[in-house]
Amino acid sequence: MSTNNQVNGEVLVETRNLTKVYLDFWGRKKKEALRALNLQIYRGEVFGLLGPNGSGKTTTIKLLLGLLFPTEGEALVFGRPGTDVAKNERIGYLPEESYLYRFLNAEETLDFYGRLFNLSPEVRKKRAEELIEKVGLSRDKKRPLREYSKGMRQRIGLAQALINDPELVILDEPTSGLDPIGTRWMKDLILELKAQGKTVIMCSHRLDDVQDVCDRIAILYEGELKELGRVDELLEIADLVELRARGVRLTEELKRDLEEVIRRHGGTVESVQHPTTTLEELFLRIVRESQLHPGRRYLPQVERSPMAAPVSAGSAPVESAARS
Amino acid sequence: MLAALVIETPYASLDQLGPALINWLNSAGVCAMLFLLLGEIFRWLWGKGSLVFHGLAGNLGQLSPEEVWKRRSLWLWLTLIGVGLVLALLGTVLGRGAGQGSTAWASVALLGWRLAALAAILAFAWEFILELLVCRARRIWALARLTMLETIRQKALWSFAVLVLLVLVGSWFIQVEPKDQWRTYVDILYRTLAILMVITATVLACFALPNDIRRQTIHTQITKPVRRLEILLGRMLGLIVLLTVMLFIIGNLGFLYVFREVSPMARAATMRARLYQLGELHFEELDNEGNWQRKRTGTDVGDEFVYRSHIRGGAPQEAVWTFYRLPPFLLDKSWQERNKRLTVEFMFDIYRMTRDYEGGGAGGVAVVLRFVNPRLWDAALEADYRREAQELRYKEDWDEILARKYGFYEVPLHIADLRTYSVDFPTAILERLREGGVLQVRVACRSFGQYLGMGPNDLYLVVGEGSLYWNFLKGLVGIWALTVMVTVLGVCFSTYVNALASMLLCWALLFLGLPQVQKFLGELGPETIHRMDVNPGGGPLEAMYRLARGLPMATPLPDNWGIALMQKIDLGYAYLFRAISGIVPDLYQYDRTLHVAEGFSIPGGELLMSLILLVGYLVPYILAGYYLLNAREIAA
């Protein structure tokens, strides 16, 4: 899809030689946060800005949103400069810390941001209800945000970013501070937005998140663009071949046969083994099981056993708690 | 009865609207030209490109069609400034060449200058005006609502509980005579309310935007289709609405409390809302040729309080109040038929030259008040008048008949020092004012050796009674205006500096706006900087020179080019002080405590004028606040 967009060339966001230098009161250079960044982001793709702290990810986003002014170059969104107010009609923005008014509740928050989009009362009410439902805050919609957990604030933050049904969603560290369940929820939502045809720009320093959801990424380091391209292409290791097979046991004979085949094609086998799942997958599975079977708990004596089998649906080392 | 309307400096009235507008145009025009010039210089110095080419707010680098249009409009105004200035220069130079009396060239110069000033204001405010046109009420109200909710839910209004407490228990600690209750309570209530409103408004206004920026909650606003002007206006509106409601509630609670507490004596004396009509005071004195000479002041008795001027008892000297303008209904025949009498109230200062009052057994100074229509009355008619009065004295309406015929009515009485008296006179004297003429009240002192002191507002016609509650609310409008002023100033300052600095700036301006400080600043103006009676010793440089040379303040300085240059520089200082006094508010216009406390209805025209002045004063600050917020990198 992204490739098609690139070919079709509908550029939503573009930076041309974008540079940001922070100056002190006397106009002296304090820090060069971004240096001559050139990017093009296409309609319908999920684009990740990747980099360590201070690499210029958030600065880029703030320049696109008009929160900062470029020192040199241009930051164009929908072909208009970042400082143009009208372009914001089509943008949804989730800041890193979900900086919302903590004295408002979820309904009031969405109503307030709906008013800023000049939405009529009926549309505001309808959208607010839908979004509160979507982000799973229906039961807490009357509580002030100061009572919300970090994850809940991130959810309502995302809801406010979607109140105008934007074409472009900009997410600044969307999974920062979230637990694995929240992280998965956020990633699923980003993929859902992509499925709806929306363009998503996210910046993060959590590499796994970016890998899971992004079509293309840009890697920034100390304000400079170091890498730009499709995630699958960038992550591909061209001189390694991975083989996956189902319905066969890994025996010595199989290993030898595989080595023979690989050798005949001029290569060498580095390792042959059963694959492992990710820790995230494992965690989520346990949470799902716990939700299905609330009484079950972990047996400590099993933990001490080095030979304990991995936790799975069929052979979980859990026991049913006595129910009163 | 004791009530005094001692107003040393008159309040601005609607009659002064024209001159006030011209003054505003001149001051704002000069400021706008200076800002345009300074902006251009700084932009050039910092390499940010020309103001003319990039617009005023600093973020119009990439030009869209609308911005091209904006730039062209700006160019138009800049051209007009140029044309205006050239006209002004030509008018001045050619006018000088043409010599004295060249009014045509002077008019050209004036017209050119005003054109340039207006174009400069438009050039400076152009982006603001265009931005204002595209602002949306729903967004502004959303931000105002947010401000109100924030203030209420963060319990910022608890400070008002202090005032409620003060109002409720205040009378336990205040010892006042029953007759003074209304004026004392009103005075305390208004002043406490004013202080509390100013402090609350300053704190709320100065912290609103900086808190939003510090907590980064403003990021979620800026990234919506919200204009920065909408944020500025929303913040101001929210605070103003909230504080208005609070002022109304607390003011009414205070009114109820005071109303309940006041003694009957105070109700009769000052708990009123007299509709009054002021006249113009001058003095007349008989000269050696037997002609009455008109004078601006009477006899100077050496009193430091210069508000009142004196007339000598037993001397041919009179104080004359002329009522050039009377409310139209007073001249209405049917009204005059319904109301046979009209009241004049007065209060005079008695300056005693002997130990006790003279003037007979009545125990006071003998005074005679004469109500005169000079078109009908002449001193030569006095004998006829007295003879006819003697003949008609048994008729019930003799005074009306004579007042109608001669345009004259006389009341002799004895008065005590600084006590308010009330005298009725027949409205028949007003009847023939329809044909022309004016009403004069001439006051003479008949007690030899005593002096009567009078100020412009010491005598007035009581033309009706207004609503006490309405007058109380009008008094609150003054406090409201003050609240609006500090709210707007606080929000505007906080667009650039932090909350504490904004608060200090607000309070510094308010301090400079106090009447005493204003008077001082006024005396440092170019007209008075070299006047010996106002600024003995001259301006700052001259004063330093005198100190260094050990010259007394009154010693004339040598006449040479060095002294002339020094005095020119002092004159420059004087213009600087004048500019400073232009950016500070005139708080005097908003203090209406005296009217309400003394039982006088606040003239609606004056109140309206004070609000117009407020708008004129605040508009440049709002403009500055908008440009500063627009030029600010919110996330920096």
* 3-class SS string, B271-307: CCCEEEEECEEEEEEECCCCCEEEECCCECCCCCCCC
Flag whether pLDDT at A4 surpasses 80. no
User: Mean pLDDT across the stretch B390-418?
Assistant: 87
Q: List the single residue in B with minimal CA-CA distance to A76.
A: B62
Say what the pLDDT of residue B510 is: 92
Interface of A with B (CB under 8 A): 22, 27, 62, 65-69, 74, 76, 80-81, 83-86, 88-89, 91, 93, 95, 97, 99-101, 103-104, 108, 112-113, 115-118, 160, 164
Say what the pLDDT of residue B148 is: 95
**Hey, which CATH number is domain B276-465, 2.40.160, 1.10.287, 2.60.120, 2.40.128?**
2.60.120
Residues of chain B with CATH 2.60.120: 276-465
Nearest one of B239, B133, B233 to B492, comparing CA atoms: B233
The reply to whether residue A101 touches residue B216, judged by beta carbons under 8 angstroms, is: no
User: Mean pLDDT across the stretch B544-567?
Assistant: 89
Residue A324: pLDDT band with limits 50, 70, 90: very low
Q: Count CB-CB contacts under 10 A for residue A281.
A: 12
* Tokens, residue B333: 């025949």
The reply to whether residue A65 touches residue B222, judged by beta carbons under 8 angstroms, is: yes
Residues of A in contact with B633 (CB under 8 A): 67-69
The reply to whether residue A67 touches residue B215, judged by beta carbons under 8 angstroms, is: no
User: Mean pLDDT across the stretch A49-78?
Assistant: 90
> Which percentage of chain A shows pLDDT scores above 90?
39
Q: Nearest C-alpha of chain B: how many angstroms from A121? A: 11
Say what the pLDDT of residue B171 is: 65
Report how far residue B456's alpha carbon sits from residue B320's, in angstroms, rounded to the nearest whole number: 10
Best of B134, B220, B233 to mutate (most A CBs within 10 Å, chain A): B220
Residues of B in contact with A89 (CB under 8 A): 225
Flag whether pLDDT at B126 surpasses 90. no
Q: Nearest C-alpha of chain A: how many angstroms from B177? A: 49
Type of residue at A315 = S
Query: In the block, which residue shows the tokens 């989009």?
Result: A117
Residues of A in contact with B143 (CB under 8 A): 116
**Using alpha carbons only, what angle is made at residue B505 by residues B502 and B510, rounded to the nearest 5 degrees?**
125
Residues of B in contact with A84 (CB under 8 A): 64
The CATH number of the structural domain formed by A2-235 is: 3.40.50.300
Concatenating the DSSP letter of every residue in A153-195 gives: HHHHHHHHHTTT--SEEEEESTTTT--HHHHHHHHHHHHHHHH
Flag whether pLDDT at B575 surpasses 90. no
Strands (E) in B416-570, as ranges, are: 421-426, 439-445, 451-454, 459-465
Out of B153, B217, B635, whose CB is closest to A62?
B635
Best of B48, B127, B132, B223 to mutate (most A CBs within 10 Å, chain A): B223
Q: Nearest C-alpha of chain B: how many angstroms from A100? A: 6
Report strand pairing: B349-351 vs B292-295: unpaired
Looking at residue A105, the DSSP 8-state letter turns out to be B
Say what the pLDDT of residue B359 is: 44
What pLDDT digit, counting tens, does each position of B85-103 carry?
Answer: 999 999 888 877 766 656 7
Nearest one of B311, B317, B271 to B292, comparing CA atoms: B317
ipTM metric:
0.79
Say what the pLDDT of residue B4 is: 62
Residue A6: pLDDT band with limits 50, 70, 90: low
3-state secondary structure of A141: coil
Q: Nearest C-alpha of chain A: how many angstroms from B503? A: 22
Residue A229 sits at φ, ψ, to 5 deg, of 165, -175
Say what the pLDDT of residue B230 is: 95
Say what the pLDDT of residue A207 is: 80
> Which percentage of chain B shows pLDDT scores above 70?
92
User: Mean pLDDT across the stretch A164-185?
Assistant: 88
B121 to A256, B30, B613, B627: CA distances (angstroms): 89, 9, 17, 14
DSSP H or E run through B123? helix B103-134
Residue length of chain A? 324
Flag whether pLDDT at A316 surpasses 60. no
Best of A101, A163, A169 to mutate (most B CBs within 10 Å, chain B): A101
Flag whether pLDDT at B485 surpasses 70. yes
Residues of B in contact with A99 (CB under 8 A): 215-217, 219-220
Type of residue at B522 = G
Out of A84, A101, A118, whose CB is closest to B150?
A101
* Tokens, residue B291: 């002609």
The reply to whether residue A100 touches residue B217, judged by beta carbons under 8 angstroms, is: yes
Inter-chain CB pairs, A–B, below 8 Å: 89
Residues of B in contact with A80 (CB under 8 A): 62, 64
Residues of A in contact with B215 (CB under 8 A): 99
Question: Would you kindly state where each structural domain of chain A is located, as residue ranges?
Answer: 2-235, 239-275
Best of A69, A93, A168, A171 to mutate (most B CBs within 10 Å, chain B): A69
